[in-house]
A = this chain, B = another copy of it.
Amino acid sequence: MIIAETITEVRQQVAAWRKEGLTIGLVPTMGALHEGHISLVRESVKECDRTVASVFVNPTQFAAGEDLDKYPRTFERDVELLEQNGCDMVFYPAVEEMYPAGFGAEIQITTDMVHQLCGASRPTHFKGVCTVVGKLFNIVTPDKGFFGEKDAQQLAILKKMVRDLNFPLEVVGCPTIREADGLAKSSRNSYLSPEERAAAVILYKTMQAAKEKLESGMTDAEEVKKFMTDMIQTEPLAKIDYIQVVDGIDLIPVKEVSPGDLVALAVYFGSTRLIDNFTV
């Protein structure tokens, strides 16, 4: 596996692959790889001739006071995992390579979808995500980009970015990978104390219970949210940031729940904020 630290190296390798007529998949990550990321790499390997993963903890998607500094960095282990799973190149740029002195450009979504869900408490987050992913798309020029459904809002926003700005590639969403007890895999799970980790299973349990409610005929979004709120609040270590039901494309809150809608939540356990979701 090639480890490229510069944009120039990536472009040269991509140009060589293109010359051979090979297709390219991109898996953007912030490192600290877990089975969720690896499932994206495997899907890319399945769908494309060559797979590029990026490992870059993007500072512009963290606001002041968020966990940029303590975000886990495990590059050597990441390289092993990528290599074992068929990745052909990892792009591992320094911050200065992505944001050189005097940098000043951004890509953003201007509809309300960036203010919903995580956007309410992280108002600049998705501008940082769109900008860095747009840059990665332009650097790697992949045929397909692979993103996890666990970050459902990010996935919907990037699909909109690609559609509205005509990026010449397909955004592929891949299913959330979970621990044995149902907790969604996340690099941030490593922040949890053993007690918090045990408590966090309430998220999955609540989503499963909500799915049953929806299957047995509950359609009022407020009712669904109240049911989930009540259930999560039975766990004393959980502090709800939001529980919301939105449509699956534009992420606008709905009153009546229908197929394709997204039920999404963010809940703190101590200072660790976990997100999860399911599509109705």
Contacts of A113 in B (CB 8 A): 104
Contacts of A111 in B (CB 8 A): 102, 104
Pull 12 A–B residue pairs with CB atoms less than 8 Å apart, ordered by A: A11-B168, A103-B164, A104-B160, A105-B161, A105-B164, A106-B110, A107-B107, A107-B134, A131-B165, A135-B166, A138-B165, A139-B168
Q: Does A196 make an interface contact (CB < 8 A)?
A: no
Give complex CA distance A111, B109 in Å: 19
Given contacts A102-B111, A104-B111, 13 further A-B contacts (CB under 8 A): A11-B168, A104-B110, A104-B113, A104-B164, A105-B107, A105-B109, A105-B130, A106-B107, A106-B110, A134-B165, A135-B166, A138-B165, A141-B168
Copies assembled: 2
Known: A138-B166, A165-B134. A250 touches B102 (CB 8 A): yes
Interface set, chain A 157-182, CB cutoff 8 A to B: 160-161, 164-168
Interface size on A, residues (CB 8 A): 28
Interface set, chain A 97-148, CB cutoff 8 A to B: 102-111, 113, 130-131, 134-135, 138-139, 141
Q: A50-90 toward B: CB 8 Å interface, digit per residue (1/0)?
A: 00000000000000000000000000000000000000000
CB of A162, distance to nearest CB on chain B (Å): 9
Q: Which residues of A contact B (CB under 8 A)?
A: 7, 11, 102-111, 113, 130-131, 134-135, 138-139, 141, 160-161, 164-168, 250
Give complex CA distance A152, B48 in Å: 42
Give complex CA distance A141, B168 in Å: 8
Establish whether residues B250 and A168, one from each chain, have CB atoms under 8 Å apart when the complex forms. Answer: no
Contacts of A110 in B (CB 8 A): 104-106
Contacts of A106 in B (CB 8 A): 107-108, 110
Establish whether residues A139 and B160, one from each chain, have CB atoms under 8 Å apart when the complex forms. Answer: no
